[in-house]
Amino acid sequence: MKRITLFLMTNLGIVVLLGIMLNLFVEPWMAREGMHMNTTFILVLAAIFGMGGAFVSLAMSKMMAKRMTGAKVIDKPSNPSEQWLVDTVRRHARQAGIGMPEVAIYDAPEINAFATGMKRDDSLVAVSTGLLRQMSADEAEAVIGHEVAHIQNGDMVTLALIQGVLNTFVIVLSRVVGMFVDKVIFKNERGYGPGFWITVIFAQVVLGLLASMIVQWFSRQREYRADLGGAKFAGREKMVAALEKLKKNVEPSTLPEQVEAFGISGRVGTGIKRLMMSHPPLDDRIAALRERRYG
């Protein structure tokens, strides 16, 4: 709740500051130029849709993750492997001071796992069948610790709130730019012309891309923290061994993009694509982990 309250207040502060700037500088200038736009109304709508969309996605994340990956929740372990998985998640959850997450397995050849959920005490930890087949118990334990650390740190909520704040900026700024182009460049004097709508769509794509880069940067930073959490729960050498094993994983990720940011590893990119990576390179993660005294 502290994390949610902090970011809600941050978002509110940003919206208020943006509103003051629009009212003091943008609206008077627009009035002098004969342009009219209710920026206060747009701000309110932007905050509602920007934050609302992020929170709706977060609230549905657990249900959608299970549906998109075909993950089967273990209600009652049916074999020693499932029993070990449930016991390990329970032990790490107890260490982290969070409620017992739902535990699931999804069918995929690659080594991967993910955690999601809106609340620390009502979350989901899922592992792939490839992870259970290819990793040792020590390596799998570290991966589970990594995912539990995501829950403990509130990473899902944090990313949703960051996305909500950026959504608000994208919605507002794209309309300000659209109004400028429509009235100043196209000299439209009646309502909103084609220039406004075309510019808004184009600006939303460009600003949305920039916003995604910012979100992915935050996502990469939280991976380092989750690695430290996995090292704390399972041991540093186990976490390093797990990351080393991931380097040998030749199977591409089958996680849907909506879930991939919450996995233990993500797609690799080069050049500008690196800015859209949800996870840092594994070599960087291993180096960062070895420099810290955990485990």
| Cβ-count burial 39-56 (b if 16+ within 10 Å, e if not) | beebbebbbeebbeebbe
Distance CA 22, CA 228 (A): 42
| Cβ neighbourhood burial of 3 (10 Å; 0-12, 13-18, 19+) | middle
Q: Which of 110, 139, 147, 223 is catalytic?
A: 147
Q: 10 Å Cβ neighbour count for 38?
A: 10
Q: For residue 237, indicate whether it is catalytic.
A: no
Of the candidates 113, 98, 136, the one whose C-alpha atom is nearest the C-alpha of residue 235 is: 136
Q: Which two tokens stand for residue 73?
A: 């929740």
Which segments of 235-295 does DSSP mark as H helices, in order?
236-247, 257-260, 282-290
Would you name the residues annotated as active-site residues? 147
